[in-house]
C-alpha cells in the first residue's frame, strides 16, 4: 500500500463494512469520520509500511489490510475485500501478506466484525475469538455519580505514563499511536499513588480507549465518558473480562448487545481495558 491508495481504501472499507453495521453503530461514514480514517491509515503507512497491503487488478483496488507492530505485539487495524469479490480467496492472500509483518511477535490482537468469512480467516490464523459487547442507548443522567478520582485533562506530556499503563494491560505501548489518538479525542488522566489510568473520549462521549491500573479507576473514567455524552451513547468493544464496564453501562441505563469479537493470540483479553477498533 502507498499513500496514494488511502482514499480508495477508505471508500472500499466503508462499502464493505456498511452491511455489517450493528445496534448503535452508524452506517456509511460521515465526511469527518472518513478524514479520521485516512489520518489513521497514513499514520500506519508511515510507521509500518511493511504491514500494509493492497490487492489490485489493472490498477483497481480489490482489497487491503493494514497492520502494525508495537513492542512484541502485532495488531491488525483493518481489512476488507470488495463486497462482490468476497469469499473467493483474496482475503486469505491479503491476511497472509499482512501476517509476514507479525514475524518475531509473541502476541497478536484485532477487533473482528461479525462477518463469518472474517471469523474463518482469524481462527485459521490461530486467534481465539472472544465475543465483544456494545453498550448503547440514552444515558439516564439521574444515575451520574460524583466522581472523586482526581480526573484531569491529559496532554502529550502524559504519553510516558500512558505507555507504561499500556504495557501493564496489553503488554505493548501505543507509542506513536498516542499522538493520533490525542488529535482525534479528548484525553482524561488519573495519576495518583492509589491508582492511575487514562481514557480517550470522542466528541460524542464514546470511549476510544480506556486503560487503568484498577477496575475502580477504569469505572471512573467510563463514568466521565457517560457524563460527557450529549444524550445517546455507544460504548463499543467491551469483553466479558471487563464486567466493570458492563456494570457502569447498566447503571447508566444503557442496553447491551453482542458485536463481533476481540481476537487475540499469545495473550488474554486485556482488563481493565476497553480497546480501540483499529489502534486497539
Ligand X SMILES: CC(C)(COP(=O)(O)OP(=O)(O)OC[C@H]1O[C@@H](n2cnc3c(N)ncnc32)[C@H](O)[C@@H]1OP(=O)(O)O)[C@@H](O)C(=O)NCCC(=O)NCCS
116 makes contact with ligand X (CB under 6 A): yes
Shortest Cβ distance from residue 80 to ligand X (Å)? 4
Judged by CB under 6 A, the stretch of 82-90, 187-195, 235-243, 266-274 that binds ligand X is 82-90
Closer by beta carbon to ligand X, 215 or else 276: 276
Work out which of 3, 89, 131, 203 binds ligand X, going by CB under 6 A: 89
Work out which of 72, 88, 179, 183 binds ligand X, going by CB under 6 A: 88
Describe the strand order of the beta sheet including 73-81 as a list of residue ranges.
52-57, 60-70, 73-81, 107-112, 255-265, 128-138, 232-239
Neighbouring C-beta atoms of residue 32, cutoff 10 Å: 10
Work out which of 66, 67, 113, 259 binds ligand X, going by CB under 6 A: 113
92 makes contact with ligand X (CB under 6 A): yes
Work out which of 6, 17, 36, 271 binds ligand X, going by CB under 6 A: 17
Judged by CB under 6 A, the stretch of 23-31, 86-94, 194-202, 246-254 that binds ligand X is 86-94
Residue pair 173/70 in contact by the 8 Å Cβ criterion:
yes
Beta-strand (E) ranges in 101-204? Answer: 107-112, 128-138, 152-153, 186-192, 195-201
Judged by CB under 6 A, the stretch of 2-10, 83-91, 136-144, 215-223 that binds ligand X is 83-91
90 makes contact with ligand X (CB under 6 A): yes
Work out which of 117, 150, 192, 268 binds ligand X, going by CB under 6 A: 117
Instruction: Find, among 135, 130, 113, the residue nearest to 20 by Cα.
Output: 113
CB within 8 A of 154, min separation 6: which ones? 162, 182, 187, 188, 189, 198
25 makes contact with ligand X (CB under 6 A): no
3 makes contact with ligand X (CB under 6 A): no
Shortest Cβ distance from residue 251 to ligand X (Å)? 30
* β pairing state of 207-212 and 195-201: antiparallel
What are the backbone angles phi and psi of residue 230, rounded to the nearest 5°?
-60, -50
Work out which of 87, 126, 131, 145 binds ligand X, going by CB under 6 A: 87
The CA distance from 45 to 53, in Å, is: 10
Amino acid at each position: 500500500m502507498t499513500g496514494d491508495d488511502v482514499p480508495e481504501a477508505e471508500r472500499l472499507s466503508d462499502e464493505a463494512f456498511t452491511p455489517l453495521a450493528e445496534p448503535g453503530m452508524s452506517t456509511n461514514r460521515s465526511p469527518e469520520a472518513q478524514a479520521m480514517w485516512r489520518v489513521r491509515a497514513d499514520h500506519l503507512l508511515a510507521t509500518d509500511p511493511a504491514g500494509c497491503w493492497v490487492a489490485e487488478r489493472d490498477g483497481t483496488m480489490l482489497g487491503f489490510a493494514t497492520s502494525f507492530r508495537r513492542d512484541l505485539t502485532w495488531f491488525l487495524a483493518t481489512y476488507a475485500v470488495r463486497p462482490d469479490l468476497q469469499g473467493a480467496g483474496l482475503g486469505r492472500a491479503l491476511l497472509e501478506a499482512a501476517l509476514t509483518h507479525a514475524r518475531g511477535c509473541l502476541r497478536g490482537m484485532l477487533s473482528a466484525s461479525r462477518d463469518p468469512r472474517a471469523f474463518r480467516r482469524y481462527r485459521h490464523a490461530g486467534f481465539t475469538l472472544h465475543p465483544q459487547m456494545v453498550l448503547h442507548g440514552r444515558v439516564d443522567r439521574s444515575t451520574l455519580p460524583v466522581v472523586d478520582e482526581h480526573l484531569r485533562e491529559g496532554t502529550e506530556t502524559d504519553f510516558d505514563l500512558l505507555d507504561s499503563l499500556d504495557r501493564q494491560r496489553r503488554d505493548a505501548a501505543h507509542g506513536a499511536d498516542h499522538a493520533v489518538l490525542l488529535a482525534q479525542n479528548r484525553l482524561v488522566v488519573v495519576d495518583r499513588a492509589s491508582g492511575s489510568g487514562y481514557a480517550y473520549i470522542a466528541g460524542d462521549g464514546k470511549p476510544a480507549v480506556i486503560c487503568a491500573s484498577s477496575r475502580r479507576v477504569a469505572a471512573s473514567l467510563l463514568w466521565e465518558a457517560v457524563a460527557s455524552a450529549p444524550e445517546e451513547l455507544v460504548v463499543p468493544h467491551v469483553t466479558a473480562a471487563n464486567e466493570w464496564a458492563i456494570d457502569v453501562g447498566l447503571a447508566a441505563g444503557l442496553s447491551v448487545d453482542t458485536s463481533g469479537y476481540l481476537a487475540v493470540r499469545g495473550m488474554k483479553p486485556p482488563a481493565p481495558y476497553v480497546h480501540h477498533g483499529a489502534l486497539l
